[in-house]
Amino acid sequence: MTIDIYTFLLFLAITLFVGFIFGKLAELIKIPAITGYIVSGVLLGPSVFGILSDVDLSSLDVITNFVLGIIAYQIGTELWLPKVKKSGKSILIITAIQALGTAALVFGAVYLLDPEHRLWLALTLSAIATATAPAPIMVLVKSLRAKGPVTDTVIPVVGIDDIFGVIVFGLFTSIAKATIGGGAITAETALLEPLKEVFFSLLVGGAFGFLLGLISKYFVVKLPRKERYITYLVFALSAVLSTVYIAHHGFVIGNFEVNGLSMILTPMMVGMVFTNMIKKEPFEIQGAALSNFSGPLIIIFFTLAGVQLKLNVLISAGFIAVLYIVFRSIGKIGGAYLGAVIAKSPKVVRHWTGPCILSQGGVEIGMLVAVSSIFVGYPDEALLIKTVVLTGILFFEIVGPIIFKLSIEKIGEAHPQVITDVLKT
């Protein structure tokens, strides 16, 4: 059952208005507006007033995926290769160690401390724990105008982290399914499928980014400056919309079929290839155009994220959820610190990268959707996984942005004007 288009517009209006009000209220008590958006979503959702139900929310998924695509694209535009190369080795080391370290810690804690020692549960939760939500981090970076070694490390880490997350999730869930009798472990399902998703996400995104770069070089830069703003906005949005569509539906070439691509990696690659084909002036123009356009969409995105968080899961998740939250936090913070030490990164990067990458959200919700199809025939097991992870998302979606903001301000990477005016998102 879906809602009609005019009811859809009404729900968007309610989401935007209520989210904006709670964002401003959050600013008054000096916490990120993002947290206010999420809280307003919880109030609008089934947990409190029930204005937006599960059925309504499914009809709004297209908005969520579109905004996630815009945010991923913006992450890509920050990955300018000359800048990334300076710390490329350290970024890869930090990303790999914090992702694998988090998976190992969550797996060990859940498997050893769970009274039933459920291997399938430990494997699935550890895989989902590796992922980091780039959306709140990117929005806060823009809002705080953050610049510095920690910011320059965090942005590529959360982008690359999705690659690790997809591969680990595919491998671990395949093994998890086999352990509860769901089927045999095969190289195709465990490794080749997630690798194929990553490869074609990067390939399709790169192709769109290259096309965007050619359009900029041979067409847009020749326009009068005042016309470039709207032109870059049109082409960037067209690329994001196209890649989100392809990521959702996949594509077929002859007898070769790709069922779906990453909603984050594909548009992120568009932005990365594009930003490395243009000069500073067009980069600034297209960045300003997209940032100004996406403001209201950001409010809707995080408010809808809050709608998906149900307070009753806090009660039913129990001890396993506490393990998940505690050991994921230790894995992210400790893993980033260890990775930075091995990479010989500056002291500030060692101490503050971990606290800045705790957020969870969009990628993890996508993984939860996949859990239902992976554990088909095992509804109780799928429900337990969803309950635990949704509890973790509820915690990290609210607390993660606050910790990020406080960390960036403490180390002096936030723009002074933003600190005095209070965070605006």
Distant-in-sequence, close-in-space partners of 208: CB < 8 Å, separation ≥ 6? 239, 242, 243, 269, 270, 273
Which among 90, 126, 84, 83 has a CA at the least distance from the CA of 106?
A: 126
Q: What is the pLDDT of residue 338?
A: 95
CB 309 within 8 A of CB 57: no
Q: What is the pLDDT of residue 125?
A: 92
Count of domains observed in the chain: 1
Q: What is the pLDDT of residue 107?
A: 94
- Report how far residue 161's alpha carbon sits from residue 325's, in angstroms, rounded to the nearest whole number: 18
Number of H helices, E strands in the chain: 19, 2
- Report how far residue 175's alpha carbon sits from residue 332's, in angstroms, rounded to the nearest whole number: 24
Q: Which domain holds residue 414?
A: 5-421
Q: What is the pLDDT of residue 186?
A: 61
Q: What is the pLDDT of residue 421?
A: 43
Q: What is the pLDDT of residue 420?
A: 39
**Residue 221, domain CATH:** 1.20.1530.20
Which two three-digit tokens encode residue 424? 């605006």
Q: Alpha carbon 271 to chain centroid distance?
A: 15
- Rg of the chain over all Cα atoms, to the nearest angstrom: 21
Q: How many CB atoms lie within 10 A of CB 116?
A: 8
Note the pTM of the prediction, 2 decimals.
0.72
Q: What is the pLDDT of residue 423?
A: 38
Residue pointed to by tokens 């810690």: 105
- Report how far residue 259's alpha carbon sits from residue 246's, in angstroms, rounded to the nearest whole number: 9
**Residues in the chain, pLDDT under 50:** 418-425
One-letter amino acid at 365 equals I
Which among 63, 10, 23, 129 has a CA at the least distance from the CA of 393?
A: 129
Percent of residues in the chain assigned helix, strand, coil, to nearest 5: 80, 0, 20
Which among 51, 36, 59, 62 has a CA at the least distance from the CA of 402?
A: 36
Residue pointed to by tokens 């960390």: 407
